[in-house]
């Protein structure tokens, strides 16, 4: 199952090419994965309060078409992999069903105090399993 | 004495009107006051390490002309007032000597642990005095 | 009548003080006034397509309490004044009914081609009248 | 040859984890490639004025260590590949010689009027050749 949310492009998201600035897609990815977790009953705020942090290990984005000011975008999120200390979220940005951009972000779980890598806790994995999708070729 | 630094406008700073997005001027103001403090021998990082925070209480900006992509701007900072728990930094944004925008930010000093207002510490006021300028009418 | 919309604070909105970075409130103000116009049947995109731009002339914000990561904020917008070439939008940021920040933005209407000031067009003023509120003291 | 520039981390660049927000590295990459071009006598502004745009086709970043507030970073840029309509810039972010993050951005050249792909113009390739570095394994 993939998780969808909508997002309205603001003026501040655009650049002088008249499109969403390329770095801002990564912020859209973050909004998507946060809401995906929330829909499964886990806020990232609670996750941090439980003593974990999820720094980003790797990010990738491929840009197909430009998102524009005032577009109502769909941010589609799913879990590509959970293994050991890491998990990978795949994200797609769509407008009226058309794919504008896609990518993934790999996060590593660390404990908030020592900032050491720790195994993904059950409170995360149990809730994310429903969003697992095999990587598409 | 006013403190000048230069800043190059990036693509990410602009919006689709082809100019620097209006909220980003406040980030330029922040860059200016940070470097002003550093030039006086105080990094804001050290200031935080000493147990203080400077949350913003009020911000104001008046926009005269637009800054554009790739402009080499001058960020000019000075201290308008220091009194009790607050101080106010005036900022001007210039391009080739022409004033593009001007404003001020009032910061309140709080201790980092209890987040209570505290009197501006000597380590700050002694270093800022050289940048005091009377408010212009 | 004032116009309310909700906004979820993202991780990217915060700074290392653990609160929404002060410049980002101006982006929230922009989201609010855009949706206020949309609710009245005018998208800012259409307004630009009709040959107008609304560069910001002045912005002001007073910060009372900090908005935090994952907060569900209310952005409340109203029209304080419309006169000649300018209009002023008042904005409030609330969390659970508590006022966190408030301010205003004055926009000037220019034609997109010559970038000269022009009188606020009827397509804008007729739709904004319902959001007029007297300035509070 | 690789091109180095320095960048001071601002408060606005950080997030509540106390580090530079992950999307902002892509803005650092952009600052680096812009200054690399400028050092070779070509401003991206002039490049646009000549009728070209360079939308981003793909972006990738791997994060090793966190950049923090007030860090003085080195942004190191080089050209990994120029072929047909595309070219790829490699970027590294360092602090005191230590690699914090690295990635690449692939840009596609389009003409500004029709937004169609066009071969990389000589004005770009001739200036970028000096920054060509073979991809490291």
**Do D74 and D95 form a contact (C-beta atoms < 8 A)?**
yes
Structural domains in chain D, sorted by start: 3-131 (3.10.129.10)
What does D9-61 look like in DSSP terms, one character per residue?
Answer: PPGGGB-TTSBB-TTHHHHHHHHHHHHHHHHTT--HHHHHHTTEE--EEEEEE
**Residues in chain C within 8 Å Cβ distance of B113:** none
pLDDT (mean) for D50-56: 95
Q: Do C60 and B59 touch (CB under 8 A)?
A: yes
Measure in Å the smallest separation between the Cα of D137 and chain B Cα atoms.
Answer: 31
Choose, out of C16, C47, C49, C70, the residue to mutate when testing the contact with A (most A CBs < 10 Å): C70
Chain C residues with CB-CB distance to D17 below 8 A: 11, 16
Residue B49 has which token pair? 């390490």
pLDDT tens-digit readout, C28-54: 999 999 999 999 999 999 999 999 999
Percent of chain B whose predicted confidence (pLDDT) is above 70 = 98
In sequence order, what are the beta bridge partners of D94?
D74, D99
Do C22 and B22 count as a contact with CB atoms less than 8 A apart? no
- What mean pLDDT comes out for the span C79-103? 97
Q: Across chain C, what does the average pLDDT equal?
A: 94
- Under a CB-based contact definition with an 8 Å cutoff, are residues C17 and A2 in contact? no
Answer whether C22 sits within 8 Å of B56, measured CB to CB.
yes
Q: Determine whether the interchain pair B15/A11 forms a contact, defined as Cβ–Cβ distance below 8 Å.
A: yes
Mutate to test the interface with D, among C15, C24, C26 (most CBs of D within 10 A): C15
The pLDDT of residue D133 is 87
Residue A133 pLDDT grade (very low, low, confident, very high; cuts 50, 70, 90): confident
- DSSP codes of every residue in chain C: --EEEEEEPPGGGB-TTSBB-TTHHHHHHHHHHHHHHHHTT--HHHHHHTTEE--EEEEEEEE-S--BTT-EEEEEEEEEEEETTEEEEEEEEEETTEEEEEEEEEEE-EETTT--B-PPPHHHHHHHGGGB-PPP-
User: Which residues, other chains included, contact A96 with Cβ-Cβ below 8 Å and sequence gap of 6+?
Assistant: none
Question: Does the beta carbon of D44 lie under 8 angstroms from any beta carbon of chain A?
Answer: no
Give the gap in angstroms from C-alpha A23 to the nearest C-alpha of chain D.
Answer: 5
Say if residues C72 and C8 touch (Cβ distance below 8 Å).
yes
Shortest Cα distance, chain D CAs vs residue A40, angstroms: 23
Distance of CA A33 to the CA centre of its chain: 4
Does B11 contact D at CB distance below 8 Å?
A: yes
Mean pLDDT of chain B: 95
Task: Share the mean pLDDT of chain A.
Answer: 94
* C58 Cβ under 8 Å from any chain A Cβ: no
A27 part of contact set with chain C, CB < 8 Å: yes
Pairing mode, strands C56-63 and B56-63: antiparallel
Q: How many CB atoms lie within 10 A of CB D104?
A: 18
Res B82 pLDDT > 60: yes
**Angstrom distances, CA of residue B102 to CA of A85, B63, D51, D133:** 48, 7, 34, 44
- Whether B49 shows a pLDDT value over 80: the answer reads yes
Asked whether this complex has an ipTM greater than 0.85, the answer is yes
Q: Of A15, A70, A71, A96, which residue is the catalytic one? A: A15
pTM of the entire structure? 0.94
Residue C18 is predicted with a pLDDT of 87
Residues 74-133 of C with CB under 8 A from D: none
Cβ neighbours of residue C43 under 8 Å, at least 6 residues apart? A70, C34, C37
Tell me if A16 and B12 make a contact (CB, 8 A cut-off).
Answer: no
Look at D55 and A30 and tell me if their CB atoms are within 8 Å. no
Please determine, for residue B62, whether its predicted confidence score (pLDDT) is greater than 60.
yes
Alpha-carbon distance of C22 to B30, in angstroms, equals 10
pLDDT above 90: residue D47: yes
Asked if B58's CB is within 8 angstroms of C17's CB, the reply is: no
- Residue of C10, C31, C44 lying closest to A31 (CB–CB): C10
More confident residue, D61 or B134: D61
Is the distance from CB of B9 to CB of B73 less than 8 angstroms?
Answer: yes
- Answer yes or no: is pLDDT of B23 > 80: yes
C11 in A contact zone (CB under 8 Å): yes
What percentage of chain B has pLDDT greater than the value 90? 93
pLDDT range class, residue C136, cuts 50, 70, 90 = low
pLDDT tens-digit readout, A86-111: 999 999 999 999 999 999 999 999 99
pLDDT in tens, D80-124: 999 999 999 999 999 999 999 999 999 999 999 998 999 999 999
- pLDDT greater than 70 at residue D11: yes
Would you say residue B137 has pLDDT above 60? no
A15 is catalytic: yes
| C52-63 per-position pLDDT tens digit | 999 999 999 999
């Amino acid at each position: 199952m993939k998780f969808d949310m909508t997002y309205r492009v603001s003026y501040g998201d655009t650049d002088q090419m008249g499109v969403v600035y390329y770095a801002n897609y990564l912020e859209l990815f973050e909004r998507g994965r946060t809401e995906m977790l929330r829909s499964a009953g886990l806020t990232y705020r609670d996750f941090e309060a439980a003593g974990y942090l999820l720094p980003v290990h790797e990010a990738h984005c491929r840009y197909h078409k430009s998102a524009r000011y005032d577009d109502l975008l769909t941010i589609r999120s799913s879990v590509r992999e959970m293994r050991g200390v890491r998990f990978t979220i795949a994200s797609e940005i769509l407008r009226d069903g058309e794919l504008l951009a896609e990518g993934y972000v790999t996060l590593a779980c660390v404990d908030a105090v020592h900032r050491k890598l720790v195994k993904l806790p059950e409170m995360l994995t149990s809730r994310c399993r429903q969003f697992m999708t095999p990587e598409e070729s």
